[in-house]
Every structure is written in structure tokens, then in C-alpha cells.
Amino acid sequence: ERLGREAGLTLTETLNVFLYFRNFLYDSVVDVYQASGQSAAREWAHMHRRIALFTDAVLLALVAAHEAQGQK
């Protein structure tokens, strides 16, 4: 969030960057899983949950940082 703020990004613009990052991350992990031959539904579900937990935490941190900055 600090980098976005320093670049003068609004919260909406920062979230758009986050969504781009999230999609890039997900596509990259899917590519690695496919290249490694992972095909079991359980493994794919586990991978998806891990990515979702990580990106959810990043998203919440971005919003919290933006809100904190707005209160200063």
C-alpha cells in the first residue's frame, strides 16, 4: 500500500493492481502444478485454498493500510 500511496494511487487503483497480481500469481501456480503433473482434485483444491488465504490476507492488509492512512 505504501508504494501505491507514494505513486499517488487511489484505493480503487491499488485494488486493481492487487487483482492483476492475484491473477498472475494464480496463473503461475497453475502452470507449475500442470508442469509437475499434478492432477488430483485434492491437490488442486489445497493449492487454491493456500492461494486464497494468502491473497485474502494481502487484500485485507491493503485496505487496512489505506484506512489507517486516511485517518492521519
pLDDT above 80: residue 63: yes
pLDDT above 90: residue 32: no
Mean pLDDT of the chain: 85
Q: Is 37 left (phi over 0), alpha (psi -120 to 50) or beta?
A: left
Q: State the pTM of this model.
A: 0.74
Amino acid making up residue 64: A
Selected residue with higher pLDDT from 6 and 66: 66
pLDDT above 70: residue 16: yes
Look at the chain and count its residues: 72
pLDDT above 70: residue 3: no
What percentage of the chain carries pLDDT values higher than 90?
A: 33
Q: Give the Cα separation of 59 and 63 in Å (integer).
A: 6
Treating both helix axes as pointing N-terminal to C-terminal, what angle do 41-70 and 11-35 enclose, rounded to 10 degrees? Answer: 160
Q: Give the Cα separation of 59 and 49 in Å (integer).
A: 15
